[in-house]
Structures are given as C-alpha cells and as structure tokens.
Structure 1
C-alpha cells in the first residue's frame, strides 16, 4: 500500500494539472511583485516623506470559520473607516489575503501615511489594530510589526519614517517585505478564495505634470 501511495503521489506531482497550477502560482507571484514594485517606486514622487506601517490582521480565536465573503466585507469596511478618519492622513496601502493551516484567513498589510503629519508609527499601528478589533468583533486580532520586539530581527529598520531619497530603505522594503507579500502561496489555496482578489495596491492620484525644479533632499 505504501509503494502504491508513493507511486500515485509521484504521478500527481508530475501530472499536467499539478505542474500547470505551480506555473500559475509562479506567474501570479511575479505579477504581484511587479505591480507592487511599480507602486512603491512611484510613491515618493507623489507624496515625499512617508510613514510606513506594517500590520497583520487575523480572525478572532472563536470565529476562525468566518466565511471569506464576510471577512472581505469587513476588511472593506476597515479600509473605508481609516480612509475617512480625520486624524489619519492615509496616502496608500498594499494588502495580501492568505490562508494558513493555523491562522485560517489573515491579511498582511502595509500602510503609507503622510510623514510630514505623522511620526509615532508604533502607536498608529496599534490604533489601526484597535479599529480592526472593533470591526471584526475580537480582541487583539492583529500583530503590530512596527513594535521594536519584531524589528529586532532586521539589521536595519524597514518601517517608520521613509524619506523620498532613501533608496536603501526603499530597496529593503521591496526585497524583504514586498517579496514576502508576493511569495508563492503556501499550503493549499483555499477553494473559497481561489478565484477572488487576494492582492491589491491603492490607486495613485491623478496628478498633472508638475513644473519647476525637481524635489531636493531635505532633513
């Protein structure tokens, strides 16, 4: 029986359907990274100094079986609420919806706030998490990636204040955070999200061609 199982597994893993699915995931991963890279590279041209917040949002422990359509509806409400919050000057975002064996559905999010008007990224990340808690009807259903305990794993900070001329930090953001967001989906893509949008960036505003001198480095 074991030999038959191994043989069948080998056939499935080398079958057309499986190889096609793997190829599709690779293409999607590359496309998502390309989309996010173009978006990230345009941000400093539009907004200058930014404050970068990374936060992961998940379901309450007692409601891990929430249907994905309901989760997406609540996430849409979350985005709408922070867009309209007067104390927040949101300039953009990137999000990825994933399914994990232990966490069930969860979101990885990057938010870009106006760096001229905001400075306390740790508290702002907590505030965003608290808003999510209210919407998802849970308690501490988020992970604050701006917290110093989390940032210790990196040699250089990749969240917080981001200057438009800081190419090194932009490169770290792309190759450490965005690449993680755009990785090929782990485990099995849950059938309920197989044909739904799982990755998105905010739209950049339409800006007329500017006249005058280009932006210079500022302290």
Structure 2
C-alpha cells in the first residue's frame, strides 16, 4: 500500500497508475456497463468485497452515465475533448483519499488474507497428492473461446455449463487415472471469459501428458464448444523449457523443483479476478477445485504412517548398532 500511495503522490502519477490493477478494472467495467445498466452495476461495485471493484465503484460516482467510457478513456490519455473532460488532478486526489480510507484498508487486508489462505490450501492439496501417488501427472490447460459464435451463443452465459461438461468428460475418459483438478475463471477485455485448469492424474496409470492435454483441448474445441473454443497446452516441451521451476508433467514424490513450481502456480490460481463475477452469471467462486476423496485420505494416512514407522525403525537400528 505504501507503494501505491507514493506513486499516486508523484508527478508521474498517470504513468504509474497505468501499471496498476485499477486502470485495467476500470476499463473492463466500462466495457460491461451501458447507460441503462449503470446504476445496478455501480451498486454492485460499491457493495463489493473486492478492493479493486470497491475502488472502481467509488471512482464512478459523479461520472456521467451516458459517457462514462469516454471520460475514463480521457483520464488515461491526452484526449481532453469537451465531451470527455475530466479533472485529472481532482480524480487523483479523490482516489488517494479512497485508498487511505479505513474502509478500503479493511477490504484490502481481508482480500489479501483470503488469497493467501486459498493459495496455502491449494498448495497443501497438491502436496498431498504428491505424497499419495508415486508419480503425479500435472496437466495445465487453458480453455477459452474464439470469435466464431452468434449473438445467441454467448460464452459468458454458457461457460459454467461448458466447464461441467469438460470436467465430466475428463473424469469419465480417464476414470482409472484422473484424481483431481483446480479451475480458475478469468475475464479479459480481449480474451473474454477463459478458464485456467490444473488436471491431476495418477502418473503410474497413464503416460504422455502432452498428448492427453492435446486430446482434452481438442474435445473442448470441437465437441463441447462446437468449434468456437480454443485452448493452450502448457505441457509442450517448448513451454516447459520456459519455466524456471517446472510444475507441469510427471513428478516423483517430494520432487523439490516441482514443489517450488507448485507454490507459484497455487499463488497464481488463488489470485481473484474481480471482473469475471460481473461478466458471468451464476459464478460465485472464481476458483474451483476438488478435495481429497475418502479413499485418498486413507491412502495418505497409510503413507504417512508408513513413513513414521520407517523413521522409527531406522532410529532403532542406529541405537542397537
């Protein structure tokens, strides 16, 4: 927060602000709003528990509903057309006061704490799977939509159903090896709704992660979305080579490099995208993931117990030796 305050007080505040989340959120909110929907969306923003949406909502107060997009575009450019005029200095001062307010500080701290808890919980889940299975296969597949759809075929209205179909197909097609998942929903002005997925498999029961990822991606593209979907396969050798700590592929138990990479992935998946909940009806959680089944919990307990007995046995041998 100190960094935000410092940048806002600097003479280069406009350049600094363009690097922050707020500009992105304002622009995307503008894209989702229209004059007739201005009031209800604004109310949602002001009442939001997400700090950036809360801040964006308060920034919209006093803005002309019929020209909100033009005024905010002018704020981040040199376009000072009379129709789009907005007092940049006054906007900055109001923004600075909002960031300093106790209301924003409370929402922001709660937001950070929740993200940390989500990341910790997801990482623990991945670690448990890594302990249970002698080989853990991790597939990272990003699912989205292209531009081949009609006005009555809106991705935002069917994304949740499409995800359910994709998850069901994966579970049924790999019923002997599919062991869990995590899915993060996001929304972007250019990409629209998209889903980042982590798919976990028993690496002892299945092989060729890049091939499986491609198969699932093609099913998303050609069957579930009827040709309108696109996907990105992060399990290719080219993408793996770009990762400092690779966390996709097949890994043995307690692979140190994998655990470092898994921590970074968990942090990314735990980051909430505030805009997607405005864009996608019925979406209540931006991160969905599975939990350990009863069978997996029993396997974990057995594994941990075996490790304890092994450690105690080694101590006994040392003492008698």
**TM class by shorter-chain length?**
0.7 to 0.9
TM-fit CA distance, 1:40: 1.1
Superimposed CA distance per residue, residues 93-144 of structure 1 (whole angstroms, 9 cap, x where no aligned partner): 1111112222111111111112112221111110111121121223561100
Name whichever of 127-136 and 7-16 sits farther off: 7-16
Within 5 Å, which residues of 2 pair with 1:1-219? 1-63=87-149, 66=154, 68-86=156-174, 89-133=177-221, 134-138=223-227, 141-174=230-263, 176-185=264-273, 188=275, 190-192=277-279, 196-207=284-295, 208=298, 209-210=301-302, 213-214=306-307
RMSD: 2.9
Give the 3 Å change call, closer, same or farther, for CA 119–198 of structure 1 in structure 2.
Answer: same
What's the CA shift for 1:87? Answer: 7.4
Give the TM-score of the pair, scaled to structure 2: 0.58
Cα separation, partners in 2 of 1:196 and 1:60, compared to 1, 3 Å: same
Structure that is richer in strand per residue: 1
Output the CA distance in 1 between the equivalents of 2:272 and 2:226: 30
Contact 2:123 2:262 in 1 (8 A): no
Q: CA deviation at 1:63?
A: 4.3
Tell me by how many angstroms 1:88 deviates. 6.4
* Larger RCO: 1 or 2 (CA < 8 Å, sep 6+): 1
Structure 2: any 5+ residue segments left out of the alignment?
Answer: 1-86, 311-321
Q: TM-score, normalised by structure 1?
A: 0.82
Larger radius of gyration: 2
SS of the residue aligned with 1:196?
Answer: coil
- Tell me how far 1:162 sits from its aligned partner: 0.9
Q: Pick which of 121-130 and 96-105 moved more.
A: 96-105
Distance 1:140 1:126, change over 3 A: farther
- How many residues are aligned here? 214
